[in-house]
Each structure stands twice: as structure tokens, then as C-alpha cells.
Amino acid sequence: MDFSVISLIVLVVVVAIGFIKKVNLGFLSLGVAFILGTCGGMSAKEIAGGFSASMFVTLVGVTFLFGMASANGTLELFSKKVVALVGKNTVLIPVLMFFLSAFISAIGPGHIAAGILMTTFAMYLAFEMDINPIAAALFAKLGANAGCASPLSLTGVLAKSLGEPLGYSGFGLHLFLTTLISGFIFTLILYIGFKSYKVKADNPLKLSEIPKFNKEQLCTIGAIIVMVICCIGFQLDTGLFAFVAASVLILLGCADEKKAIKSIPWGTLVFICGVGALINVIKKLGGIDLISNFLTSLMTEGTATPILAATSGILSWVSSTTGVVMPALFPIAADVAAEFAGSVNFVELISAIVATSFAAAISPLSTGGAIIMSSYSAARETSNEEMNKMFKQLFLLSVANVALNVLLSALGVFNLFGLFY
């Protein structure tokens, strides 16, 4: 049997074992990745290369900084003040989270930086307000994903650089709007599904009764604001700058670093990066290409857009949208548009690719789902059983979001009547 097929079977088996045995999938994935990769002729260096050091550093840095903010009471007090300002209109918080995240993502830093910042905040706020924390984090991450195709953001810039050599340009606004619309539609579905409109959290808090921030808490807020400005305005690395901000707070004596270190969800980080290492081995052995080739071979004039959308969603579950999906599928979109000239439009195809790829990015196999899981674990102690349940929930929601975008593709929504290109 071909190793590409074997690798996909192994992935299914590993995930199944994790759910049944309630073990940390990260450790299991690392062991399986080594065995599978070695049998497939990969070197130890290639196998270990799938363990994302950059993601690990980013997640540790952000959870450490917000762990300090939690340890000195900043997040709790800030949450209370926000709750007091909202008053009785708590049902608006999910929508606010979506658009605020979309705005931050759109003005430059992109979905990862905005997602980390807003998802972490949304999680802590949800626990304080007794709102479903997964729902709150999803609204924030969906917003970050929905705004990331702005011409000012990394995804928009990449799309332009990929499209121009293929002979296409001027589609930036169209790409941004379709991705934003796609994300907002699914957000509305979740808003109804999680019954966020029924949130009636009692709000006895009044600003006059809430204490003011002390010096340590003001310093913490200042550090977070500076981090946001530097990451957005100067596009500095979020994780590394979080360590800088945390170091300053430690030197100023603003928080107990030992409590902050204990708040870092180490098990979850291994879980995330370990699965990533296994996915990398599967990709190297051709498992991802096998799926992609199968789907693209089914294309006809009427099914080209939804099939490319489905392909991008599946690829995004196991690879990076900007690093793999877009570079791989944009040339295919150009070929398809040329083959079905007059019937299939390149801009519509790439809009479906980008929107569906980011629709899949709330999966725990992707960075978005990883951010949600680590934020949840940082906010409260989490068992392996609870983490596996969250893994399943996020993956199923990701499948539903991809299916929604495939449907939107089939209905021609990503064309937007050709108004913006």
C-alpha cells in the first residue's frame, strides 16, 4: 500500500485513539510521527521540523503575558468594568467581538496576531460574565479570520503578489468583502446556535462600585497596549514581544511570575505542536496531495468553484492557508478559469479558496483552533477528556463552516455580481 494512503489511515487512527483513550494527542502524535516518518524514509531532522517552534513560542509568550495579567487581577477587574459599561446589552458582546477582531486583523497584523490577542481576551471575559467561553472565543477568531484578507493585511498582500504573475489584479476589495461576509454569516449561525441572544447575565456591577486600577494593573494594561500598537503598527512578532512586555512587568514587580508560569497550558501546547508534527509527516509522504488530486479530478464547469472551495478547506485543516493553500491553489484557479473561459471567473475562484480556507481555520488542527484551545486551558485547569471534547467540537464546527462555504460557492455568492472587480 502506498505511504500516502497509509499516512491518512494513521491520522484517522491517532485521532480515534485520542478520543477513546482520553490521552494527550500531542505526545501520541509525536511518537507516531517518528515511526511513520522513519518508515517513509524521512530523516529525524525532517520529522522534528514539523514541530512548530514559532507557534510554540507565540503561544507561550502570549499565555505567559496574559497569565501575569490574570495573576495580578488586571483581567478580572477590566472584565468587570467592561461588563458594567455594557449594562443590560450583554447580547451584543458576541457581535462586538467579531467586528473588533475583524478590524484589528484588517488594519495590518493579520488573523494570527489579532486572533491571539482577541481570543485570549474573549475567553477571560466569557468566564467573568458566565458566557459560553468556546462561543466567545469563536466569535473573536472568526472575526480575525474574516478581516484578514484586507489589502493592508498579510493575506491580502500575498493574494496580490500571487495573482499579478498570473495576469490578475485589482481584486483586493472583492477578496476582502467575500471573506468578511463568509465569516459573518457563520458567526450569525453560531450566534443563534449557541443561543447568545438569550444571554441574560445579571449585571449588578456599577462603575462607581468597582475599585480603580492600582499601579501594577495600570502598568500591565500599558504593556498590553504597547504590545498591540507595536504588533499592529510595526508588525513585530506577537509572541516575542509578549516576552518583552512580560519581562518589563517582572522587573517592575507587577505580578508573580511563578503564578504566571504555572498558568501556561504546557499540556495543550504539546498537544497542538505534536499534532502539527504528525501532519507535517503526512504532508511529506503525499497524503495531502492525494486528497487534493482526487478532488480536483472531479471538476466540471459547474462544480469548479465548490470543488476548489472544498479542496482549500480540506488542505487548510492540515496546512497553512498562506504558506500552502493559496500558493498551491491560485495557479490551479488560473488554469481552471482559462479552461472554462467565460463560465468560471478567477476572482470568484480565489475568493472561494481564501474564504473557505479560513473557514476551516477554527479546526484544532489549524492555528485558529489551537489558539482557542490554549486560551481556554490558560484561563482554567483543563483535563485531557475536556480537551479532547473541545477538539471534537471545534473540528465539527470547522467541517460545518467549510460545508457552508462550499454551499455559498455553489450558489455563486463569491461572485458578488461582479461589482468589485
Q: For 110-148, what is each residue's pLDDT tens digit?
A: 687 778 878 887 887 787 777 788 898 999 999 999 998
**Residue 161, domain member (yes or no):** yes
Q: Between 351 and 85, name the one with better pLDDT.
A: 351
Cell of residue 315, nine digits: 488542505
Does residue 108 carry a pLDDT above 60?
no
**Residue 216, domain member (yes or no):** no
Does residue 361 carry a pLDDT above 80?
yes
The answer to whether 169 touches 114, Cβ cutoff 8 Å, is: no
- Cell 497569565 locates to 67
**Residue 36, domain member (yes or no):** yes
**Dist. CA 348–CA 398, nearest whole Å:** 22
**Dist. CA 61–CA 143, nearest whole Å:** 22
What pLDDT is recorded for position 204? 43
What pLDDT is recorded for position 19? 62
**Dist. CA 312–CA 324, nearest whole Å:** 10
Does residue 164 carry a pLDDT above 70?
yes
DSSP state, residue 89: -
**Dist. CA 310–CA 172, nearest whole Å:** 22
Q: Which helix (H) or strand (E) holds 8?
A: helix 3-21
What pLDDT is recorded for position 358? 95
Spatial neighbors of 145 by CB under 8 A, at least 6 apart, are 105, 111, 115, 179, 183, 358, 359, 361, 362, 368
Phi, psi of 52 (to 5 degrees): -75, 100
In this structure, of 178-187, 289-298, 326-335, 365-374, the range with the lowest mean pLDDT score is: 289-298
Q: Which helix (H) or strand (E) holds 243?
A: helix 238-251
Q: Which helix (H) or strand (E) holds 274?
A: helix 266-284
pTM listed for this prediction? 0.70
**Residue 342, domain member (yes or no):** yes
**Residue 77, domain member (yes or no):** no
**Residue 54, domain member (yes or no):** no
What pLDDT is recorded for position 82? 64
**pLDDT digits over 321-335, tens only?**
876 788 778 888 888
**Residue 229, domain member (yes or no):** no
The answer to whether 356 touches 310, Cβ cutoff 8 Å, is: yes
**pLDDT digits over 292-320, tens only?**
677 667 777 788 999 999 989 988 886 67
In this structure, of 63-72, 114-123, 124-133, 195-204, the range with the lowest mean pLDDT score is: 195-204
CA 198 to chain centre: 26
What pLDDT is recorded for position 51? 84
Q: How far is CA 139 from CA 118, 123, 221, 384, in A?
A: 9, 10, 23, 24
Does residue 49 carry a pLDDT above 60?
yes
Grade residue 172 by pLDDT with cuts at 50, 70 and 90. Answer: confident
Taking the CA atoms of residue 237, residue 239, residue 240 and residue 241 in that order, the dihedral angle to the nearest 10 degrees is 80
Provide the residue range defining the domain that includes 278. 3-48+88-202+265-418
- DSSP-derived 3-state class of residue 406: helix
Average pLDDT over every residue of 345-349: 93
Q: Between 420 and 91, name the one with better pLDDT.
A: 91
Number of domains composing the chain: 1
**pLDDT digits over 219-254, tens only?**
998 988 888 788 767 777 777 888 999 999 999 988
> How confident is the prediction for the chain on average, in pLDDT?
83
DSSP state, residue 211: P
Does residue 87 carry a pLDDT above 70?
no
What pLDDT is recorded for position 417? 77
**Residue 313, domain member (yes or no):** yes
Judge residue 286's burial from the number of C-beta atoms within 10 Å of its C-beta, 0-12 exposed, 13-18 middle, 19 or more buried.
Answer: middle
